[in-house]
Structure 1
């Protein structure tokens, strides 16, 4: 008999396939362990708050008043600065000085009691007015008054004449004063008692409206107010009375 043929079963190719992944040996991927990566959950989108839109307030009457007030104050300040600067320049240019006055003599023409018990007085006063200004003239206007007082009682009064006094001019005035005072008996008794001491205090008051002339410019009227405290020796009529003391003060009133 011929040779026996043995038939071997064919190998199962599908069964011999490796189940491990086909990764080349010795590679870095096979040598390292896989580390799980912890991923944070996604953040929710950030929301921005929307603020309400504030509409500008319409201008009120109060704001208009404040603006007008500020403008008015600013204009007044500017006006004061201009006036002050002008006055300063005029002062430097003209160098104004207050006029000087002195009482030269006092004569009593009459001093007696009337039937109605009022005290009648008639004085004559001579006054010297001195204008020391080099560039300023003085107009003495209507309405100037000169009066003589004893304590709080006005004995007599007279008018200062109108005239113009030039630069650095000295003018002598002769003013006649008359008047009647109430409570004449009381006043006469007090004057007679004071006369025995030889020192009788009298107060001579001056009110003179004047207009100042700067160069060729005539300014508005002002008033010269004067107060002269006199001490005389007697009140004898028709005699020149001796003035023992005199203290005069003058000022301007705008």
Structure 2
């Protein structure tokens, strides 16, 4: 008996294997159908733009400027507080100066048309402060002028003026004027026309102020006194018809 031919099923090698809808080991998808994935979409990385950092030099300069202004403002406030306290404690007042007398001891022209002059000026200095003393230091300079021409010069002696003190000084002054003949003619004409001779006294005096037991740094007083006298003749009494002094100081 002839062998019957056996037919075995041959697998279809043309059809690719199908992947399961849900990968192995994962939970079941909520979607009924798989979500298509666009394999052609390129992977893009977002670019984050960072702001440019400020320059270090500029920030350092601004920081230094702010610190400097803050320190200056603090110093100004501290100095203002100290000055306010000192003012309330000591109650400072400006000293007062006046010219009380003038004596001409020499006013003689010489052979070379110059003029030799010598004066004695009585100066009264008043310190009205109750808790402030004044040290008059050396290096002062006092001059007397007529119509822009310096006649004589001198200096105050060194001394200390205490609280509420009045000091009278007799100050000798001398000088030599060029073109003395012209100056004498101008003085005579001035006296004949008005009967008065205007003079200007300038003083520059270094002083140190004493607040209690504290001595401040040296400063300079500047005094300007305008005088009107009746004459400038030697060995004769001179009358001062008008006198006014202004005062200021600087460090």
> With structure 2 as the length reference, what TM-score do the two structures score?
0.79
Equivalent residues, number: 211
Q: Deviations over 1:26-81 (max 9, x none)?
A: xxxxxxxxxxxxxxxxxxxxxx9945230552642122111111111110111111
Equivalents in 2 of 1:50, 1:182: separation in Å? 96
Aligned to 1:131: 127
**Matches of 1:58 and 1:95, distance apart in 2:** 53
Secondary structure, aligned partner of 1:57: coil
Structure 1 residue ranges, 4+ long, deviating more than 3 angstroms after superposition: 48-51
Larger deviation, residues 124-133 vs 65-74: 65-74
| Aligned residue number for residue 96 of structure 1 | 92
* Unpaired runs of at least 5, structure 1: 1-47
Query: 2:228 corresponds to which residue?
Result: 231
Two-structure CA RMSD over aligned residues (Å): 2.2
Tell me, in whole angstroms, the C-alpha distance in 2 between the residues paired with 1:49 and 1:80: 58
Query: Could you say what secondary structure the match of 2:207 adopts?
Result: strand
Rounded to whole Å, the distance in 1 between the matches of 2:168 and 2:207 is 17
**Are residues 1:168 and 2:168 paired?**
no
TM-score normalised by length of structure 1: 0.78
Contact 2:98 2:244 in 1 (8 A): no
1:206 corresponds to which residue? 203
* Unmatched tracts of structure 2, length 5 or more: 1-43
Partners of 1:83 and 1:115 lie apart in 2 by 60
